[in-house]
Amino acid sequence: GQLCDRYHALHADVYTWFRIAFDHFGRTTTPQQTRIAQDIFQRLLSRGFLLQDTLEQLRCESCGRYLADRFVEGTCPSCGYAEARGDQCDKCGKLINAVELQNPQCKLCRGTPVVTPTQR
């Protein structure tokens, strides 16, 4: 709350100073913003601009959540570095898809995540 309130007011002042006007300058926490976002989504969906696909993601059963790249580490499939992150290896610099890591480990609980197909 307080941080968002501060920056919302700061941005509003900057836009006013530059004489930039909006039909609606709101916040993500308002019902009006929710309606706007849902309307845009529904229009994109109905016009065929959104695609649904199946992706493989790492899921930690212990934590009960899908893991973002930053919550996974393991062995780099390229160079064998044991502490590679879920997005890249700091030793060889290779970009990594987290599901490619060998011996992946959840950074939150140290559990072993499983590769799970998800619809997106």
86: amino acid identity, one letter: G
- The pLDDT-based confidence of 110 (bands split at 50, 70, 90) is very high
Query: Where in the chain are the domains?
Result: 2-46, 54-119
Per CATH, the architecture of 54-119 is what?
Answer: Beta Complex (2.170)
The CA radius of gyration of the chain, in Å to the nearest whole number, is 21
Q: What is the pTM of this model?
A: 0.64
Cα separation, 107 vs 98, in Å, equals 13
86: closest CA among 77, 96, 94? Answer: 96
| 72-107: pLDDT as tens digits | 999 999 999 999 999 999 999 999 999 999 999 999
